[in-house]
Amino acid sequence: MLVMPAIAILLALNLFPLIYDIFLSLVNWQIRFAGSQPTFAGASNFATVVTDPRFYNDVGVTLALIAVVVPVENFLGLGLAMLLSRKIRGSRVIGSIIIMPLALSSAVAGMIWSILLFCSFGPVDSILELLGIWRTCANPLWNYPIQSIMVADIWQWTPFFFLIFLAGLSSLPREPLEAAQVDGASAYQTFRHVTLPMLAPVMGVGVILRMMDVFQTFGVPYILTGGGPGVTSETIALYIYRAGLGFFNLTYAAALALVLLVVVSVLITLFVRIYPGGLAR
C-alpha cells in the first residue's frame, strides 16, 4: 500500500549498491582501461585491505577522531544546554548564535577553519601569539592535522548536541527534580543521580548518530588538511575516495567500503547493546 513505494525505492537504491559493492570487491577489474573485463578474484581484494598499512593508519585516525570528538561535543553540548536552560533573557539569541555552525556544509566549515588556522593570515595564529601560547606559528594544519580536524568538527557539531539536550532538558518532568531538592540533594547530586540518568536515552541517540557520521567523515579532512601531511590525517572515507577516483582502483575502493560498512555496523550494534539504560527509540 502506502509503504510500498518508499520501501521499493529504498531497496532499489540501497540494496543495489551493496550488492554491486560485493560484486566489485570480489573481482579484479581494471576499469580505467576501456574494454577490460572483470575477472573473479575471490577474497584477494580483502586480503589487500587487511594487509594495507594505510588502511590501518586511516582506521587509527578515524578512531582517534571519534574518541575525542564525540565525548567533547556531547559534554560541551550538555553543558551549554544546561547553562542556557534557565529562561534568562537573551538565551534565545545566544542559542541561535550557537547553532549557526550546524547549518553550514562540512565543506564550508572546513574552508573556514583552513583560513583560520593558516599561519600567514589566520587569526588563530595571531591570537595565540598574543596569549603567549606560541612564539611563532606552530602551523597547526601541518603539525597537528588531526587536532585541527577535531577542532573544526567540534565547532560544527557541538551545536547538534546542544540542540538535542536543550530539547531533552525541557521535556524532563519537573517533579522528580523538585523532589530531589526537597529530599536534600545538592545541585551536583541532583544532576548526577536524577537529571543525567533521565537524559541518558537522548545522549545515547546523539552519540550513536555522531559516531556513525564521524566514521565516514570526509568533508572536513578533505578541505582542511587533505589527509595530510602525507596520510597522517586521512580518514577511511578519504582513502576510499582516493582509491576510487584517484587511483581509479574501483574494486579496491569497493572492498574498502564494504569493510568500513561491516566495521561500522558491528561497532554500532555493540554500542547499542552495551549502552546502559537503552535508547530513546
Partner 1 sequence: MRLWTIGWIVAVAVVLFFFAAPLYWMVTMAFKPEIYWAFSPPPLFPPQTTSLNFYRGLLVMGGAKGILDSLFIATSNSLISLFFGLLAGYGLSRYLPRSKNLSFFILSQRMLPAVAFAVPFYLLYRSIHLYDSYLGIILVDLTFNLPLAVWMMKNFLDEIPRELDESAQVDGASLFRTLRSVVVPTALPGIVGTGILLFMFSWNEFVLNLFLTIVNVTPLPTLIPKFTGSHNILYGDVSAVALVASIPIIIVVIALQKQLVRALTFGGVK
Partner 2 sequence: MGDLVLESVSKTLGSTKVLDNLNLEAKDKEFLVILGPSGCGKTTTLRCIAGLEAVDEGRILMDGKEVNNLRAKDRDVAMVFQNYAIYPTMRIKDNIGFPLKVRHVPKQEIDRQVREVAELLRIENLLDRKPGELSGGERQRVALARALIRKPRFFLMDEPLSNLDAKLRMQARTEIKRLQHELGVTTIFVTHDQAEAMAMADRIAVMDKGVIQQVASPLEIYGLPSDAMVAGFVGSPPMNFLDATITRMSNGAIAAKVGEDAFLSPESEGLKEMEGRDVVIGFRPEDTSFNPTPGSSSHNLTAEVYTVEPMGTFTIVTLKSVSLIKALLPLDTKLSVGDKGAIEVKKDRIRVFDKTSGKRIV
Least Å from the CB of residue 71 to partner 2: 21
Contact between 72 and partner 1 (CB under 8 A)? Answer: no
The 8 Å CB, 24+ separation contacts for 87-94 are: none
Burial grade of 15 (CB within 10 A; 0-12, 13-18, 19 or more): exposed
Which of these ranges, 53-61, 65-73, 114-122, 188-196, lies near partner 1 under the rule CB under 8 A? 114-122
Q: Nearer to partner 2 by C-beta: 156 or 195?
A: 195
Q: Nearer to partner 1 by C-beta: 51 or 136?
A: 136
Q: Nearer to partner 1 by C-beta: 55 or 113?
A: 113
Residue 210 to residue 201: CA distance in whole angstroms: 14
Site for partner 1 in 161-180 (CB under 8 A): 163-164, 166-168, 171
Cell matching residue 39: 575477472
Which of these ranges, 39-47, 52-60, 64-72, 103-111, lies near partner 1 under the rule CB under 8 A? 103-111
Size of the site for partner 1 (CB under 8 A): 91
Least Å from the CB of residue 80 to partner 2: 23
Residue 63 to residue 126: CA distance in whole angstroms: 31
Q: Nearer to partner 2 by C-beta: 81 or 194?
A: 194
What's the Rg (C-alpha) of the chain? 23
- Among residues 229, 249, 230, 231, the alpha carbon closest in space to that of 241 is found at 249
Q: Nearer to partner 2 by C-beta: 19 or 167?
A: 167
Binding site for partner 2 (CB under 8 A): 173, 175-176, 178-186, 189, 193-194, 197-198, 200, 277
Cell matching residue 214: 564521524
- CB distance 161 to 70 below 8 Å: no
Least Å from the CB of residue 204 to partner 2: 13
Contact between 55 and partner 1 (CB under 8 A)? Answer: no
Category of 188 on φ-ψ map: left (φ > 0), alpha (ψ -120 to 50) or beta = alpha
Of partner 2, partner 1, none, which one sits near residue 100, judging by CB under 5 to 8 A according to partner kind?
A: partner 1
On the CB side of 71, CA atoms within 13 Å amount to 5
